[in-house]
Every structure is written in structure tokens, then in C-alpha cells.
Amino acid sequence: MRTLFRRSPPKVGQHLSKPSRSWLGFAQPILVVLVSLNILTNATQDWWSFNNLNQQTAQRLDSAISVLAGRIEDRVKTMDVISLAVSDALNSGRANDATLQSIAARHQPVLGSIAIVVLDPAGKLRAASEPLNGNYVPWLAKIQQQGCASWSSGKTWLAPFGQDYGIMLAQPHLDRARQVDACIVIAVPQRQDILQGATLPMGTAAMLRNADNQVIARFPSLSTLSFGQTYTFKRFERAGPTPGAWYLHSPVDGIDRLGTSRTIDMPRTGEQWILNMSVATNVYRAPWWSSVFFDLAGALIESALLVAGLLLLRRERSLNLQVAESARVVSNLVEHTPSAIALVEYRTGKIRLGNEALKGEFGALAGTGEPIEQLFANPADWAAVRDGDRSEPFAMVARTGLVHMLVRRTHLGESAGDTGDLLLVTLVDVDEQYQQISLLRSEADFDPLTGLPNRRHFERAAAQAVAMAQRHQTQVAVLGLDLDHFKRVNDTWGHAAGDQVLAEVARLFKASLRDQDLPARMGGEEFAAILPGTDGQQARSVAERIRVAVQSTPVVLEDGQVVHITVSIGGALYRSGEADLHEAVKRADAALYRAKQSGRNRVEIDVCDDVTEGPPDGGEDHDSALLQA
């Protein structure tokens, strides 16, 4: 019933020809989308950060220029206060040098060192806050030449002031009749920069121009931009990130800048000064560029990994196709090969796959999931095959009975499941060759008459016994046997009777030994035995058992006659340090000689070194054997 309802093992090709697909193949579209979204998200975030950074910087500039403009307006108001104070002095008739000097000193903490001059309408000097030296001549010359009688409002201009320039603020004074009766002039040297002391962030610059676009002040100063130089950059400006802000590539220092402007009203003159403040874009954008470079590097790495993954997938597909084609070819070869082939799990020993030849040879025993060890006559042999190839055939349980097969295994590596490594096991039927070899080996190593091992076999067994004794520190004994007066048996009854006697003695000899002992026919009527793990007393006991068995068992010939035969036995022990068993055999021969000399049908065991050696008796020259018809 078990066989009838068992499913047939699957074809090898069904499992080998189907290519597998990596999980990366399924994840490929998702990875492409995720990497693309990540790059797009980073790019969007960088663009948003860029715009936000420009806006925040423009707002900070707007706050900073408001503070600076307020500072300048405070100084302008101070100049208005000075002008009012001088007007009051003119109205009260106190506009003399001392009064002007006092007014200038009072406002020096705000404006610094300044000069205050009062001229009449014709330009003639009336009073001054300090003596007018050569520095004041150039800037007073214009008023002295033209006068100020025709002025209806104040004026500002820049004029040479020694080696420097100065800011000139001129204001007409009106009498009660609303006629110009004097001109008030305030001179501020450029060395006392109106922007001096301003606190600006790194990379920030400020410039103050009058209504004629002449540079009144610039902080920090530039060698390429002089005081009083006419400068306009309205045509270089482009729209900035916030209302009122602008970008430009500065023609002064060649730097890209973000800036903003303020106008400062001059109440006395009706003019407007222009204050510009800007910051170098490479300064405030430096952290943003660092972030962009990191994002760009990350995007490049992700893209490179994605491309590498796609290339690997392409390579995997190509390899899968090659593997599938190779598997198809291998499957066909396996299916059609005459040898039995099985794919076996190394850890469990269970058959994963088997070809038709395996199923035909072993039937249900070789089904999928069955342990392969049950195919062996001795299940323990599978462990020897699994752990290493063995050159000798193994007895296998086939449908037709026991057959001998060569078993070869090839390690295929780890499988896709959790069953561990796989083994490819090939079984080749060599039963016929095995039988022939066994026959030849039997003829070469065994005596055909008695069936006992011959001298050749004895010598190999002797070497193995010595090796075991040396390895395990045990004793080995050797016995030598010789039939007494055997030649007379041949002479009396013929060689056929002699062969019958030899065969019977061999049977008795083998039956008297233990399982671990090895009997052998050395030639003629001589026999020998190797007794592993045996001391002298045990050797004597075994020898006596052999002698008694032969003595007490008469040989009945084919014609009914009875022959009584005896044996003489000599024994010796293998001695530690000897290379082989040859010396022990010699001592056993010497003991056998003594047994012959002492009357035959006896046992002599060599237990000491001082022995008398002589040639063993062949059976011709000693007392008659007991023969009875």
C-alpha cells in the first residue's frame, strides 16, 4: 500500500530549468521612484532655501540701512540745529567769531571738527569759528565770487579742502524784510567720514551720495572710488527678492551684490541724499552652497548606486538566462544518463531530486524526501560517502536485490532553502566487475584447497596487526603449525587423501581460533595464525585447543579408511620496538622445531630470548604416525 500511494518524484528539469528572479528585480521601479523623489525633494528644498536666504538677507539689510540712515539723519539734523543757532546769533547781533567758535565746539561730539562761516550778501567774510587758512580758500571762493544775495534756499556741494574734500552746506539768512542779509556756511571735512564708526556685517558695504550722485562717503573705503566722484549704478540693478531690494554686479569692486537704498531728506536745501547698502552674495550664500554641494554629492551617489543596481539587474537577468539554459542542458543530460543520479540534502540526507534511472533502480526507496541511507545495505556507509569519496563499491539495496555500486558525490554548495548544502550523488552499477574482482582477489589471497588466507594475505595482516599493537600498546602472538608425519600419508594413500587430510585439519584449525584471530596456510602441511591482543598464556591455551581438536578428530577418507593425525605447534610474542612480525615468526619456527624435537604432538611457546633454533621438521624423518586402516 505504501508503494501504490506514493507520488512519483518530480522531474529534475522542472526544478533546474526555471530561472529565479531577485527581490531587487521587483523593487527596481520603487527604487527608481524613491531615488527620483529624493533628488527632486532635495532640489526643491535647496531652491526654497535659496529664495528664503535671499529674502532674509534682504530683510536684514533693510533693518541695517534703516539704522544707518537714522544715524545720518541725526547728523543732518545737528547741522540744521547749528544753522538755527547761527541764525539766532545773527538776529541778536551776536554773530561774531567767539559765538561761532562756541557753537562749533558744542556740536563737535556729533559732527567732529567743523568750520562755521558767516558772509555778507556780497560774499565778504563777517565771522568764522576759526581762522581761515589756505584750506578754506577754494570752497569759499565760489560764494565770494557769486555772493548769496540771490539765493532763495540752501545749497550743498563738495569742494576741495586742502588735500581732501569737504561737504559744504550753505544757507541764506533773511532779515525782517525777508531780504538776504547774510550767508551761513558749514564745512565738514571728508576725513571725518559721516559713515565712520558704522557697524556692518562681514561682506557688507555702504555708500552715501548727494543729489548730484557724488560720493559723499563709502564704508569700507576703496582705492578705486574717490570722494566726490560721480557714480550711478541704477542701470546695473535688477529686481531683488523683496520690494526695494536689488541685485547688481558692482562696477566698483567687480563683486555680485544684494543691496537696498534709502533717501535722506535735507530740510534746509530741499535736496535728497541717497544711501546704498549691499552685501556680497558669495559671502552670505557660502553656507547654502556647502549644503547644495552635499546634496549634489548625495544625489550623485544615489544615482550611481541606482545605475549600478540597474546594471546588476541587467547582468542578473543575463546570468539567469544563461543559468536557465545551462540547467536545461544539464537536466536533459541527467534525465537521459544511464547512471542513477540524486540531489541530496547534506544535513538531512534526504533525496531532493532523482532521475528516472534512480527511480528505476531503487523504486519507491529513492522517492523525493526519502533518506538516501536506506539505499545502502549498511546505512552507516552513507556517512562515509557524505564526508568523502570512497573508491571501493558499496552494497546497495536495489529492486533486484543486493548490487554493488560505485558512489560518487559532488558538493554543490548552499541551496536556496534552509536545508543547507546540496550533494550531487551518482551511483554506477559495477556489480559484475565487483564479482569478478572478488573472485580474482580470492584466488590471489586465499588457498583454494583449504579456503584459508595464503602467505600473501598473512603478510599483509601481520603488518596491520603490528601497526595496531604499536598504536594501542597491545600484544600480538603468532603460532606456527606443522602436521606430524604428513609425508607418509601422501606416500600411503596418495595425494588426494593428503588433500582431504589438509582440508579437515584446516577446518579444525579455523574452528579452534577466536573471532579476532587470523588462520593461514603457509604452504604444504604448514599453517600459521596471528592472535591480536594475546599474551603468552593465552597463546598457549589457543594452541592446546588446536592440538587437542586435531588429535581427537580422525579423518575418514572417501574409501572409508580412517587416518589419525597430530600437529606440533610453536608460538612466540611480538616484542615492543620490532619493526614487523618477522622476528616473532622466526621465534615461533624455533619453538615449533623444539616441539618436533621433543616428541611431536605438543605445544612450545617462546617466552625468552635464549632459545635453540633449528630447521623445523617436514615430517619425513621422525617417528611413525599412527595409521589405522
CATH number at residue 105: 3.30.450.20
Q: Are residues 420 and 470 in the same domain?
A: no
The DSSP call for residue 7 is P
What tens digit of pLDDT does each residue of 390-421 get? 678 888 988 888 888 888 888 876 655 555 67
pTM: 0.48
Domain membership of residue 17 (yes or no) is: no
Q: Are residues 467 and 361 in the same domain?
A: no
The strand pair at 603-605 and 567-573 is best described as parallel
Choosing from 404, 430, 456, the residue where a domain stops is 430
Q: How does residue 24 score in pLDDT terms, banded at 50, 70 and 90?
A: low
Average pLDDT over residues 233-259: 83
Whole-number Cα distances in Å, 185 to 91, 536, 562, 568: 16, 148, 172, 160
Q: Are residues 184 and 260 in the same domain?
A: yes
Q: Are residues 59 and 96 in the same domain?
A: yes
Domain membership of residue 315 (yes or no) is: no
Q: Are residues 422 and 466 in the same domain?
A: no
What tens digit of pLDDT does each residue of 567-608 get? 999 999 999 889 999 999 999 999 999 999 999 999 999 975
Q: Please report the pLDDT score of residue 108 as a whole number.
A: 83
Cell digits for 312? 546588476
Q: Are residues 274 and 230 in the same domain?
A: yes
Q: Are residues 470 and 392 in the same domain?
A: no
Which residues sit opposite 186 in a β-bridge? 116, 169
Q: Are residues 509 and 403 in the same domain?
A: no
294 vs 441, more confident: 294
List strand residue ranges (DSSP E) for 112-240, in order. 115-119, 125-128, 155-161, 164-174, 180-189, 204-209, 215-219, 238-239
Lowest mean pLDDT among 175-189, 192-206, 262-276, 397-411: 192-206
CA-to-CA distance for 97 and 13, rounded, in angstroms? 121
Q: Following DSSP, what letter does each residue of 414-482 receive, concatenated? A: E-SSSS-EEEEEEEEE-HHHHHHHHHHHHHHHB-TTT--B-HHHHHHHHHHHHHHHHHHT--EEEEEEE
Q: Are residues 403 and 452 in the same domain?
A: no
The DSSP call for residue 624 is P
Domain membership of residue 293 (yes or no) is: no
Lowest mean pLDDT among 195-199, 488-492, 524-528: 195-199
Domain membership of residue 130 (yes or no) is: yes
Lowest mean pLDDT among 186-195, 299-308, 405-414, 525-534: 186-195
Domain membership of residue 248 (yes or no) is: yes
The answer to whether residue 267 scores a pLDDT higher than 80 is: no
Residues in the chain, overall count: 629
Measured at the CA of 603, the angle between CA 602 and CA 608, to 5 degrees, comes to: 140
Choosing from 251, 268, 284, the residue where a domain stops is 284
Q: Which residues of 559-591 are buried (b: 16+ CB within 10 A; e: fewer)?
A: eeeebebbbbbbbbbbeeeeeebeebbbbbbbb
Q: How does residue 229 score in pLDDT terms, banded at 50, 70 and 90?
A: confident
Q: Please report the pLDDT score of residue 629 as a whole number.
A: 27
CA-to-CA distance for 371 and 212, rounded, in angstroms? 107
Do 539 and 573 touch, CB atoms closer than 8 A?
yes
Name 316's Cβ contacts closer than 8 Å, sequence gap at least 6. 22, 24, 25
Domain membership of residue 45 (yes or no) is: no
CA-to-CA distance for 587 and 438, rounded, in angstroms? 34
Whole-number Cα distances in Å, 478 to 91, 324, 482, 540: 157, 65, 14, 11
Quote the number of domains for the chain: 3
Lowest mean pLDDT among 292-306, 435-449, 558-572, 585-599: 435-449
Residue 548 belongs to domain with CATH number = 3.30.70.270
Do 281 and 256 touch, CB atoms closer than 8 A?
yes
Q: Look up the domain containing 576 and give its range.
A: 446-628
Q: Are residues 232 and 139 in the same domain?
A: yes
Cell digits for 165? 574734500
Q: Are residues 408 and 450 in the same domain?
A: no
Domain membership of residue 360 (yes or no) is: yes
The DSSP call for residue 136 is G
The C-alpha R_g of the chain, in whole angstroms, comes to 64
Choosing from 284, 301, 320, the residue where a domain stops is 284
Q: Are residues 399 and 255 in the same domain?
A: no
Q: Please report the pLDDT score of residue 626 as a whole number.
A: 29
The answer to whether residue 534 scores a pLDDT higher than 90 is: yes
Which residues sit opposite 427 in a β-bridge? 340, 407
Q: Side by side, which strands form the sheet with 155-161?
A: 125-128, 115-119, 180-189, 164-174, 155-161
The answer to whether residue 137 scores a pLDDT higher than 90 is: no
Domain membership of residue 188 (yes or no) is: yes
Q: Is 9 exposed, middle or buried (0-12, 13-18, 19+ CB in 10 A)?
A: buried
